[in-house]
């Protein structure tokens, strides 16, 4: 409602002009219970809002952060003491605001991811994360983990490693693996490709000189 005042015959008159009713902002509920609930919640957010969010899991080290997912049949078929360990199941929930025009900005997406992360923290799930904007995307990276000795320690994303790989004609999968191999050489970690959206025969001429690994990947995919 807009208030307008004017003088009429020496009197002060208050005129009320009704504005168009404001549209209530819609929202979408995200509720995930899974061994990696933040990852699954981020996938649900991408499907609902669009945008690209990269996620790196925490390095699970303490028995309190994992559980045995083996079935009785699996245990019966294996040597005594065999376990199928995975991250402990947890829940992440959030109400994600959805703009009326459907246009989700980078800052909107950042806000939404932080809502999910707040739920993750509130539920005291393993480790902790930080969110960064880079290469036109968001990166959710582990920053803390409960160590095997029961003490929380700081961790750094291996994809922040500065790498150099010679320019060469490779398959796209081979190029990604070359980047991972360079990270592994610098950190001692073994990183492999699990699933990939490109045909193995697709090739590209690519190299990197003193470049952060995640930026090299973003440049490759761009």
Instruction: Identify whether 9 is part of a domain.
Output: no
Residue 4 in any domain: the answer is no
Q: What is the pLDDT of residue 98?
A: 78
Which of 13-17, 145-149, 177-181, 186-190 has the weakest average pLDDT? 13-17
What pLDDT digit, counting tens, does each position of 33-47 carry?
A: 999 999 999 999 998
Q: Do 173 and 105 reside in the same domain of the chain?
A: no
Same structural domain for residues 110 and 36?
yes
Final residue of a structural domain among 156, 171, 187? 156
Q: Within this chain, do residues 37 and 137 fall inside the same structural domain, yes or no? A: yes
**Beta strands in 40-101, from DSSP E residues, in sequence order:** 53-55, 66-68, 85-87, 90-98
Task: Identify whether 29 is part of a domain.
Answer: yes
Are 193 and 151 in the same domain?
A: no
Q: What is the pLDDT of residues 171-215, one digit of tens each?
A: 999 999 999 999 999 999 999 888 877 767 789 999 999 999 999
Q: What pLDDT, on the 0 to 100 scale, is given for residue 102?
A: 67
- 51/152 same-domain check: yes
Q: How many Å apart are CA 31 and CA 93, to the nearest integer?
A: 4
Determine, yes or no, domain membership for 189. Answer: yes
In a domain, 14, yes or no: no
**Same domain, yes or no: 102 and 174:** no
- Each residue's pLDDT tens digit, 84-110: 999 999 999 999 987 777 678 889 999
Q: What is the pLDDT of residue 3?
A: 38
Shared-domain flag, residues 112 and 189: no
pLDDT band of 25, cuts 50, 70, 90: low
Packing angle between helix 213-221 and helix 172-187, nearest 10 degrees?
A: 180
Q: Which domain holds residue 213?
A: 158-222
Share of the chain above pLDDT 70, in %: 87
Mean pLDDT of the chain: 87
Write out the DSSP string of 120-179.
Answer: HHHTT-SSEEEEEEETTEEEEEEEEEE-TTS-EEE---GGG-EEEEEEEEEEHHHHHHHH
Q: Which residue has the higher pLDDT, 162 or 24?
A: 162
> In 3-state terms, what secondary structure has residue 63?
helix
pLDDT of 22 strictly over 80:
no
What pLDDT does 215 receive? 97
Question: Which of these three, 156, 182, 208, is where a domain ends?
Answer: 156
The residues pairing with 17 across neighbouring beta strands, listed in sequence order, are: 2
168 within a domain of the structure (yes/no): yes
- Compare 9 and 173 and report the one with higher pLDDT: 173
Residues 65, 147, single domain; the answer is yes
Q: Domain tally for the chain?
A: 2
Q: In sequence order, what are the beta bridge partners of 13?
A: 6
- When pLDDT is cut at 50, 70 and 90, the band that residue 5 belongs to is very low
Coil, helix or strand at residue 100: coil
**Of 95, 101, 107, 96, nearest in space to 23 by CA:** 101
Please check whether residues 102 and 166 belong to one and the same domain.
Answer: no
143 and 53 share one domain: yes
Residues 103 and 130 occupy one common structural domain: yes
**With pLDDT > 90 as the criterion, what percentage of the chain qualifies?**
72
User: If DSSP codes are grouped into helix, strand and coil, which group holds residue 76?
Assistant: helix
Question: For the ranges 8-22, 48-62, 188-202, which has the lowest average pLDDT?
Answer: 8-22
Query: Using CB atoms within 10 A of its CB, is residue 4 exposed (0-12), middle (13-18) or buried (19+)?
Result: exposed
The one-character DSSP state at 21 is: P
CB 69 within 8 A of CB 84: yes
Distance CA 220, CA 222 (A): 5
Spatial contact of 142 and 56, defined as CB atoms under 8 Å apart: yes
| Residue 185 sits in the same domain as residue 125 | no
Burial class (CB in 10 A: 0-12, 13-18, 19+), 157: buried
């Amino acid at each position: 409602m807009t208030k307008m005042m004017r003088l009429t015959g020496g009197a002060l008159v208050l005129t009320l002009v009704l504005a168009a009713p404001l549209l209530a902002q819609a929202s979408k509920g995200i509720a995930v219970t899974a061994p990696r609930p933040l990852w699954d919640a981020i996938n649900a957010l991408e499907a609902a809002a669009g945008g690209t969010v990269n996620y790196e899991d925490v390095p699970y080290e303490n028995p309190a952060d994992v559980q045995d997912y083996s079935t009785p049949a699996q245990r019966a078929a294996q040597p005594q003491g065999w376990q199928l360990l995975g991250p402990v199941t947890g829940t992440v929930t959030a109400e994600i605001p959805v703009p009326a025009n459907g246009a989700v900005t980078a800052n909107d997406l950042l806000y939404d991811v932080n809502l999910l992360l707040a739920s993750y923290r509130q539920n005291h799930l393993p480790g902790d994360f930080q969110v960064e904007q880079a290469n036109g995307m968001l990166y959710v990276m582990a920053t803390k983990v409960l160590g095997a000795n029961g003490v929380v320690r700081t961790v750094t994303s291996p994809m922040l490693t500065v790498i150099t790989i010679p320019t060469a004609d490779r398959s796209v999968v081979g190029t990604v693996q070359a980047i991972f191999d360079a990270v592994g050489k610098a950190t001692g970690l073994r990183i492999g490709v699990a699933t990939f959206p490109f045909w193995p025969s697709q090739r590209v001429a690519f190299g990197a000189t003193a470049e952060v690994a995640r930026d090299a990947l973003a440049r490759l995919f761009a």
